[in-house]
A and B are shown apart, each in its own frame.
Chain A
């Protein structure tokens, strides 16, 4: 399809395990965002890429969280030594505009991470 694709859709991890979540943005989209949505809450910003450059990682909750977009297309969000509070839906969004340009972002279906 032509939309934002995320995999896996669901992930169950044992506490302490490392996980990697993948995002395939819409082809040609310059901007890519990761958000975390806890149950009953709105999505919260984690990090932002413009092409391959990670311009803002102010929302990453700890140094256990790491994101990359090495070729400016596919992105991976990695969480090391997962903890129960990491359980959430992780949403990826992409946008055709750069930086502060105002336009809508298109979201993927998300990856639901459950840490047991």
Chain B
């Protein structure tokens, strides 16, 4: 039973355009959401996060939107650059005694020059 779902396995966009990566979750106890980026043969690196008390968080070219009622979040990258090509994981943590993360399966983003 996947609690964090990234239903699209891949996305291809043209350099300079917007990339929109989607993520859905089922557990209403999740209250903190993160996006990680992963290059081949490397560990995931933190990109951006959002608390459930917010609906938007922006950091440079990256913006995360949270729709709590729909249990949906999205990562917008604009403008997209070839160096953004990587696997992006959506992750969530809840109100438990530790901040362990529940990850989606990831989406492979390819930015075409």
Q: Which residues of A contact B (CB under 8 A)?
A: 4, 6, 31, 33, 35, 40-45, 48, 50, 55-56, 59, 91, 93, 95, 97, 99-110
**Choice from B96, B97, B101, B104 contacting A105 with Cβ under 8 Å:** B101
Q: Which residues of B contact A (CB under 8 A)?
A: 4, 6, 31-32, 34, 36, 41-46, 49, 51, 89, 91, 93, 95-106
User: Using Cβ atoms and an 8 Å threshold, which residues of chain A touch B4?
Assistant: 42
**Choice from A42, A102, A109, A110 contacting B99 with Cβ under 8 Å:** A102
Whether A100 touches B97, Cβ cut-off 8 Å, given contacts A106-B46, A109-B42, is: yes
A91 near B43 with CB under 8 A, answer yes
A43 near B100 with CB under 8 A, answer no
Q: How far is the CB of A64 from chain B (nearest CB, A)?
A: 21
Q: How far is the CB of A100 from chain B (nearest CB, A)?
A: 6
Q: How far is the CB of A97 from chain B (nearest CB, A)?
A: 7
User: Using Cβ atoms and an 8 Å threshold, which residues of chain B touch A55?
Assistant: 97-98
| Alpha-carbon distance between A105 and B35 when the two chains are bound, in angstroms | 11
| Alpha-carbon distance between A48 and B31 when the two chains are bound, in angstroms | 19
